[in-house]
Amino acid sequence: MSGQTMEFKTEIKELLNLMIHSLYSNREIFLRELISNAADAIDRVRFEGLTNNEVLEGNDQWKIKITRDEKAGTLTISDNGIGMNIDSITENIGTIAKSGTRLFVDRLKQQGATGNPELIGQFGVGFYSAFMVADKVTVVSRIAGPKEKGVVWESTGDGTFTVEEREKETRGTDVTLHLREDARDFLQEYTIRSIVKKFSDFIEHPVAMDVEKEKKKIEEEVLNSQKAIWLKNRTDITDKEYNEFYKHISRDFTDPAKVVHFSAEGASEFKALLFLPAKAPFSLFDTEHKIGIHLYVRRVFIMDDCKKLLPDYLRFIKGVVDSSDLPLNVSREILQETKEMERIKKGLVNKVLSTLKEMKEKEFQVYTAFFKEFGSVLKEGLNFDSENKDKIQDLLLYHTTNTEPDSPVSLKQYVDRMREGQKEIFYVIGENLDETKRSPFLEKFHGKGYEVILMTDPIDEWAQQWMLEYAGKKFKAINKGDMDIDEKTEKKEHKEQEGRYKDLMTLLAEKLPDVKEVRVSNRLSTSACCLVADEFAPGAHMEKFFKAMGQAVPQTKPVLELNPSHQLVKNLEALFRKDKGHALIAEYASLLYEQALLLDGKKLKDPIAFATKLNTLLSSELDLQIRN
């Protein structure tokens, strides 16, 4: 087959461009990325080889080799891993962008990558990082299998690449970088040695390079220590080593927020080294997000993204699990179905939840920062892990009408300081803290000294469906259904007002077909009116969710409540007594309803009509002033 020139996918073109121009100060990571790819490729063929010896072709001396050619100005990273053929190389490098690439490129453009290493860290820059140091990259590869053909892929990173078949004797991949003039430093033995030590020391396969020894003798030397850090004693590992290992497996740039290193013994034996990242990656809510644990069986890498190892709601955890009980030579599918896997999962979940609990109790600030990043994901567990629901509820933090910006409270703290006689946990759901704090529903609660939880996380409304009570106290949305926080005398007064306003309310309801009912409110103190949803009506977040899913929003009409102690409502009632058919009554009814809609953060159906009505009113008030 003759050579073929192909175009990079648009996102990849943009990624290349950004990388070359803005990640300059982090260029050295190219080596980490290429070594990681080589190590992944070796892990894959080694795993295949467990059940299909043929792919090994008698070559299982795993090695990643770095070759420097100072004269040619090239650096080559070779591996004897799984390799690629013409189809997979075209697909893997150049034509298919990973999910999340678009988002990443847009963020980089918005914020600028320089000085923003966290941004880069949230996305494995992978193979393309080679173009940060090279103006041409040549990949020669041959996929595992005795009869397979080799392939050569080449690009100058200018938007196109070529591929063609080429003989290659051995399985594996050689990535050759033709270094840019200003990147020749990466040919130095010292530079390479220190980058490998820094980023790839833990890679369990040898990363080797020819180095000059005494008397100009060239010898191959292994540059990394290849230590499986998770098998070592905690006391023998420094924070720096933990952090570097974390960065290696997560490809994050930021240090983790917490390290959890433990051995499980008894029913199930495994070692685990888990990390809680400090920052949430963009891909956290991708439909294709991965489970961040790498599974090993007796030091042999088996797989990552193992869905049976950790529930989805803990997908932010990164790390390694090494089991001594799982069978080695079975397929990944069979492995995932074993009872042992279930036991490991249980052990991991318990450990993660107890670590979070401890953090919350002993390092509240660190926990608050963690919760800000990952609280939304954790809440998914309220539905999907009913067994641990109580533990998860205990991990939740909320802002309330009484909290300071940096110190949210737990449900326990809320319940412990509930006002005497308070039977329910009051909450209100809103878009953001500022807006929610101004909600008219809070007026009376505030006046009476009740604390109300302000739920502003978009997932809260969904999560509330699974949280009916906590510590025997029911949750109560203060903008829904009936309210019962009044004293006896207030209740009596409310009854009287209901009687007095009955006819007016019936008339207003007739004038307002979009509301279910108009009634006298017992929840307002300064606002004139508000809209109250049905106890089971979907709120604003759920409405958005239904719309985003292309589903019809279940329609329930709200109730319009009027504040009988507001002057406007009092006057309206007085006018009604004087002249039940007065034209202004209908006009005011619709203005009050529209005002309540606005207070609820909703859009008006007909804003022009609203403005016209308002203007007529305003100008009649001015008329009055002028005439007096």
Query: Judged by CB under 6 A, does residue 41 bind ligand ADP?
Result: yes
In terms of C-beta density within 10 A (0-12 exposed, 13-18 middle, 19 or more buried), how is residue 117 classed? middle
List 154's β-bridge partners, or say none: 138, 162
- Going by C-alpha positions, the residue among 456, 354, 348, 449 that lies closest to residue 397 is 456
Q: Which stretch binds ligand ADP (CB under 6 A): 80-88, 260-268, 361-369, 393-401?
A: 80-88
DSSP result, 117-150: HHHHHTS--GGGGGGGTEEEEEEEEE-SSTTPPE
In terms of C-beta density within 10 A (0-12 exposed, 13-18 middle, 19 or more buried), how is residue 621 classed? exposed
Residue written as token pair 């990273």: 77
Smallest gap from Cβ 293 to ligand ADP, in A, equals: 16
One character per residue 7-36, x = contact with ligand ADP (rule: CB under 6 A): --------------------------x---
Distance CA 3, CA 286 (A): 36
Residue 49 assigned as binding residue: no
- Going by C-alpha positions, the residue among 547, 536, 526 that lies closest to residue 599 is 526
Smallest gap from Cβ 44 to ligand ADP, in A, equals: 8
Query: Judged by CB under 6 A, does residue 38 bind ligand ADP?
Result: yes
Distance CA 587, CA 609 (A): 11
Distance CA 416, CA 513 (A): 44
Three-state secondary structure of 206-226: CEEEEEECHHHCEEEEECCCC
Query: Judged by CB under 6 A, does residue 422 bind ligand ADP?
Result: no
Which residues in the 166-185 window bind ligand ADP by CB under 6 A? 173
Q: Which stretch binds ligand ADP (CB under 6 A): 37-45, 367-375, 448-456, 484-492?
A: 37-45
Smallest gap from Cβ 369 to ligand ADP, in A, equals: 27
Residue type, 542: M
Among 74, 92, 116, 368, binds ligand ADP (CB under 6 A): 92
Which residues in the 472-511 window bind ligand ADP by CB under 6 A? none
- Going by C-alpha positions, the residue among 299, 297, 292, 288 that lies closest to residue 275 is 292
Among 19, 75, 82, 341, binds ligand ADP (CB under 6 A): 82
Query: Judged by CB under 6 A, does residue 93 bind ligand ADP?
Result: yes
Q: Which stretch binds ligand ADP (CB under 6 A): 121-129, 269-277, 458-466, 613-621?
A: 121-129
Among 18, 20, 23, 84, binds ligand ADP (CB under 6 A): 84
Which residues in the 124-143 window bind ligand ADP by CB under 6 A? 124, 126-128
Residue 125 assigned as binding residue: yes
Question: Are the CB atoms for 3 and 219 separated by under 8 Å?
Answer: no
Distance CA 407, CA 368 (A): 8
Residue 152 assigned as binding residue: no
**Closer CB to ligand ADP, residue 127 or residue 450?**
127
Q: State both tokens at 71.
A: 């004269």
Smallest gap from Cβ 332 to ligand ADP, in A, equals: 16
**Closer CB to ligand ADP, residue 142 or residue 476?**
142
Among 28, 43, 79, 244, binds ligand ADP (CB under 6 A): 79
Q: State both tokens at 490.
A: 């207030």
Residue facing ligand ADP at closest CB distance:
126
Query: Judged by CB under 6 A, does residue 81 bind ligand ADP?
Result: yes
Question: Are the CB atoms for 533 and 558 separated by under 8 Å?
Answer: yes
Question: Are the CB atoms for 173 and 79 separated by under 8 Å?
Answer: yes
**Closer CB to ligand ADP, residue 117 or residue 126?**
126
- Going by C-alpha positions, the residue among 173, 206, 211 that lies closest to residue 191 is 211
Query: Judged by CB under 6 A, does residue 37 bind ligand ADP?
Result: yes
* Residue numbering of the annotated binding site for ATP: 33, 37, 79, 84, 92, 98-100, 122-127, 173, 332
Binding site for ligand ADP (CB under 6 A): 33, 37-38, 41, 79, 81-84, 92-93, 124, 126-128, 173
* Residue numbering of the annotated binding site: 33, 37, 79, 84, 92, 98-100, 122-127, 173, 332
